[in-house]
């Protein structure tokens, strides 16, 4: 999301798809939020999962997050989890917006939702905007992005009250089971490589180190940077998949989203970091492991896993789009993105000696 537009500039609105402003106003007032007037709002474009709205009471700006329209799979789009994690991280080394109120009562608007402060700043999801940044600023924000993720992974979950956020033991296998199960639950077509990739990954699970707080979708366009110092991260957003698990899953996802000049762009970020000044992917890994004092020699496994997981997430969105349950632009491209990501998974298996060996083993065992 971007909050570069002043929330007080929102025009009066009587209703929005997926948002009952009258019910919201009453809820906030009943929970002691001092509103200057009735809430106004607009849907913020760009989100492909939870719906996000920019709100204003005529004086103060807020952000509301709620699940998407349509059927919600169990465990998906957990806005209460987002609210809890950001509330817990307040005051930590990881910048987050201030939480305002959580509504777990479906009777208010039909779904759970939460409201938080609108952090002033910009989300760098547009290549033209990134291209206008000085090379030195791009270099600094890229390094800060990596460092902030390392800071997150260094936080002891117990120190911020998140020791029960997830079950880190067996995290990677459960993730594989979960995303394959999600695929079968929403399946409307057969996806090449989906089953075989999971089989290879299960046959070659890496030994995991210390667990930490995993963001689940950490990348450049999921943070707000400061208006006046765009090398400074003002807030980290989109915590709906946060859990306790293997921090290298976050590292691999960041590398997957880290586009480089002359290389195929990730279908989501579409070249956001493919500019001079930004670190290379190898430098991202080097900076992260140096910050945390780690040795990482099995990132190939995590990269295939990251692409597989993203493919299934996008397939869920593709299915919702086919059902007419999405709002905004770009959803018509989701289906093609899924096929491209799974093809990259297959290529990743072929390019890795370790994963190729695991693939051969699974083929032999299946005979």
Best-predicted range by mean pLDDT among 9-23, 33-47, 96-110? 96-110
pLDDT band at 323 (very low <50, low <70, confident <90, very high): confident
| 167-195 average pLDDT score | 94
Which CATH architecture group holds 127-366?
A: Alpha-Beta Complex (3.90)
* Residue 14 scores a pLDDT above 80: no
| 313-330 average pLDDT score | 82
* Residue 243 scores a pLDDT above 70: yes
- Per-residue tokens: 180: 């394959």
Q: What is the pLDDT of residue 155?
A: 98
* Residue 84 scores a pLDDT above 60: yes
Q: What is the pLDDT of residue 334?
A: 83
Nearest residue to 270 via CA among 279, 282, 257 = 257
Q: What is the pLDDT of residue 321?
A: 82
Q: What is the pLDDT of residue 359?
A: 87
8 Å CB contact between 235 and 224? yes
Q: CA–CA separation, 232 vs 55, rounded Å?
A: 24
8 Å CB contact between 87 and 73? no
pLDDT band at 72 (very low <50, low <70, confident <90, very high): low
Q: What is the pLDDT of residue 7?
A: 66
- By percentage, how much of the chain surpasses pLDDT 90? 78
| 297-303 average pLDDT score | 96
List Cβ neighbours of 62 (8 Å cut-off, separation of 6 or more).
7, 39, 54, 55, 56, 100, 115, 116, 117, 118
* Residue 364 scores a pLDDT above 60: no
Model pLDDT for residues 275-290, shown as the tens digit of each residue: 999 999 999 999 999 9
CATH 3.30.200.20, applies to 7-117: yes
C-alpha radius of gyration, the chain, whole number: 21
Q: What is the pLDDT of residue 1?
A: 41
Q: What is the pLDDT of residue 46?
A: 40
* Residue 48 scores a pLDDT above 70: no
* Residue 366 scores a pLDDT above 50: no
Domain boundaries, the chain: 7-117, 127-366
CA distances for 225 relative to 44, 141, 154, 259, 318, angstroms: 17, 8, 22, 19, 30
Nearest residue to 225 via CA among 343, 98, 125 = 125
8 Å CB contact between 245 and 175? yes
Q: CA–CA separation, 152 vs 124, rounded Å?
A: 21
* Residue 13 scores a pLDDT above 80: no
| 2-23 average pLDDT score | 67
Question: What is the residue-averaged pLDDT of the chain?
Answer: 90
Instruction: Specify the range with the lowest mean pLDDT, choosing from 39-43, 64-68, 263-267, 327-331.
Output: 327-331
Q: What is the pLDDT of residue 82?
A: 95
pLDDT band at 88 (very low <50, low <70, confident <90, very high): very high
* Residue 11 scores a pLDDT above 70: no
174/8: higher pLDDT = 174
Q: What is the pLDDT of residue 135?
A: 97
Q: What is the DSSP string of 202-228?
A: HHTPPPP---EEE-SS-SGGGEEEPSS
| 191-213 average pLDDT score | 94
């Amino acid at each position: 999301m971007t909050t570069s537009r002043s929330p007080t500039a929102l025009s009066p609105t009587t209703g929005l798809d997926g948002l009952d402003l009258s019910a919201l106003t009453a809820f906030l007032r009943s929970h002691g939020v001092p509103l200057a007037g009735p809430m106004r709002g607009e849907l913020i474009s760009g989100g492909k999962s939870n719906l996000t709205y920019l709100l204003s009471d005529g004086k103060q700006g807020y952000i509301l997050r709620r699940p998407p329209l349509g059927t919600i799979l169990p465990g998906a789009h957990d806005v209460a989890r987002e609210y809890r994690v950001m509330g817990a991280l307040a005051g930590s080394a990881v910048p987050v917006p201030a939480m305002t109120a959580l509504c777990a009562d479906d009777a208010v608007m039909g779904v759970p939702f939460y409201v938080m402060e609108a952090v002033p700043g910009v989300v760098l999801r547009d290549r033209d905007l990134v291209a206008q940044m000085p090379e030195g600023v791009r270099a600094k924000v890229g390094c800060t992005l990596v460092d902030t993720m390392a800071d997150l992974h260094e936080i002891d979950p117990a120190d911020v009250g998140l020791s029960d956020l997830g079950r880190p033991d067996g995290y990677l296998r459960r993730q594989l089971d979960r995303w394959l199960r999600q695929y079968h639950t929403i399946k409307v077509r057969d996806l090449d490589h989906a089953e075989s990739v999971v089989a290879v990954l299960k046959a070659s699970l890496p030994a995991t180190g210390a667990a930490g707080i995993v963001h689940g979708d950490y990348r450049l366009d999921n943070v707000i940077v400061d208006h006046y110092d765009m090398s400074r991260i003002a807030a980290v957003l989109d915590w709906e998949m946060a859990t306790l698990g293997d921090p290298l899953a976050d590292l691999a996802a960041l590398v997957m989203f880290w586009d480089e000049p002359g290389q195929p762009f990730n279908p989501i970020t579409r070249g956001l970091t493919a500019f001079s000044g930004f670190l290379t992917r190898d430098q991202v890994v080097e900076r992260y492991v140096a910050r945390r004092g780690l040795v990482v020699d099995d990132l190939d496994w995590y990269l295939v896993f990251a692409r597989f997981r993203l493919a299934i997430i996008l397939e869920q969105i593709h299915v919702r789009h086919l059902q007419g349950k999405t709002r905004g632009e770009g959803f018509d491209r989701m289906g093609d993105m899924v096929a491209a990501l799974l093809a990259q998974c297959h290529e990743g298996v072929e390019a890795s000696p370790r994963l190729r060996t695991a693939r051969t083993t699974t083929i032999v065992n299946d005979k």
